[in-house]
Amino acid sequence: MGEENKEEEKRIKRMEDCLVQILFELRWIQKNMNPPVNYFLIMIVSIITSVIVTIILTH
């Protein structure tokens, strides 16, 4: 009976460790997939790119 409890505790501990690791990975992914975005800079770069492409295509 004591041996079964030890095995069960080991199994539960492994599952807890796996869940902690998965949670860590999910937090890392969430943080890195949604970085802070500078929309003003994106807009300026987009406008400049559009102007350059328009100039190139009209000549």
pLDDT by residue (tens digit) across 6-55?
898 999 999 999 999 999 999 988 888 776 778 888 899 999 999 999 99
Q: Is the pTM of this model over 0.95?
A: no
Residues found in the chain: 59
Which domain range does residue 44 map to? 2-58
Is the pLDDT score of 1 beyond 70? Answer: no
Distances (CA, A) of 43 to 7, 25, 53: 59, 32, 15
pLDDT value of residue 50 = 94
How many domains does the chain contain in total?
1
